[in-house]
């Protein structure tokens, strides 16, 4: 059985992710992890024109 790797995240990375979440009104924030390291954060936002 393969040994599990622990994903580590720096304080700066966590702050960036939380900032993107706070700035998103409608949408999603995706964190991309490779080899147990955060390599990318994607933000997809929808803009609602009518209510």
The mean pLDDT values, 10 residues at a time, for the chain of 51 residues are: 76 96 94 92 91 74
- pLDDT value of residue 2: 66
Query: What pLDDT does residue 39 have?
Result: 94
Q: Of 48, 16, 10, give the one whose Cα is nearest residue 29.
A: 16
Range of the domain at 30: 11-45
| Residues 6+ positions from 12 with CB-CB distance below 8 Å | none
Burial class (CB in 10 A: 0-12, 13-18, 19+), 50: exposed
> How much is the pTM?
0.73
Domain membership of residue 38 (yes or no) is yes
Report if residue 6 sits inside a domain.
Answer: no
Placement of tokens 């949408």 in the chain = 27
Give domain status of residue 3, yes or no: no
**Is 24 within the bounds of a domain?**
yes
Rounded distance, CA 26 to CA 21, Å? 10
Domain count, the chain: 1
50 is a domain residue: no
Residue 35 lies in a domain: yes
């Amino acid at each position: 059985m393969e040994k599990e790797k622990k994903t580590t995240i720096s304080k700066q990375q966590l702050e960036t992710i939380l900032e993107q979440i706070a700035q998103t009104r409608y949408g999603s924030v995706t964190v991309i992890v490779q080899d147990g390291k955060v390599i990318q954060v994607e933000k997809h936002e929808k803009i609602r024109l009518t209510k």
